Amino acid sequence: MSENIKCDHKILFGKRLKKLRQEKGISQESLALTAGLDRTYVSGCERGVRNIGLENIYKLAIALGVSPERFFKDENCQENDT
């Protein structure tokens, strides 16, 4: 694989967040505004550089109109010990 991305939980979370946001057809800015978060924070979450907390996980889920469990589904890469 050219993408040498480790199975990092934050990276996986970010990928799912981005996918769900794009499925809704909204921008990071729009999502951030709805969720009451900063756009740079949402961007950081999508890039997997933020250790997002429970409260903000729910803010994003509610803003996207999805259950927060959607951010944790499809654990399709091996669970490394990080």
Binding site for a second copy (CB under 8 A): 9-10, 13, 50-55, 57-58, 62, 67-69, 71-73, 75, 79
Minimum separation from the CB atom of position 37 to a second copy (A): 14
CA distance 56 to 58: 5
Q: Nearest Cα to 60, choosing from 81, 80, 39?
A: 39
Q: Cβ–Cβ contacts within 10 Å for residue 49, how many?
A: 12
Minimum separation from the CB atom of position 18 to a second copy (A): 15
Minimum separation from the CB atom of position 73 to a second copy (A): 6
